[in-house]
Amino acid sequence: MHALDSGYSKDMAHVYYMGKTVDGALTMSFKSIGGGYGKDAMNVYYMGKQIQGAITVSFESLGGGYARDTSSVYYLDSKVDGANPWAFQSIGGGYGKDASQFYYMGKPTNGVNPWLFQSLEGSYGKNTPVFF
């Protein structure tokens, strides 16, 4: 068995996440891309579960639980409604932003200016002059 990162491993016949078989994963093309995400030539996975509708060729992990492809932004295994994948940035601690909206754990947060927000240690943040 060959250990990858983020809990994934594979052998000649199967891909595994934390020792459990990843159903449908293609061993020859599978790779871990960090943050619990993995992909093969056909599908994208989060913690060993397939993410429906994700575009494999453009899918990338952004860190902090976020990922994107050319059409969507994801937080863990769910799409982030309304987020712009071309402008989206993960800023750590579950926080993310695009050109017009600020997000916490994949949900839009009103009243926060995405360009003034700073992620602090842990899950804290500052949107001058407000702290979260």
Break the chain into its structural domains and give their ranges. Answer: 1-61
pLDDT band at 122 (very low <50, low <70, confident <90, very high): low
pLDDT tens for 82-114 read 999 999 999 888 889 998 898 999 999 877 665
Within 10 Å of residue 18's Cβ, how many Cβ atoms? 12
* In the predicted structure, residue 121 carries a pLDDT above the cut 70: no
User: What was the pLDDT predicted at 1?
Assistant: 79
Q: What is the pLDDT of residue 117?
A: 58
| Chain mean pLDDT for the chain | 89
Q: Model pTM?
A: 0.85
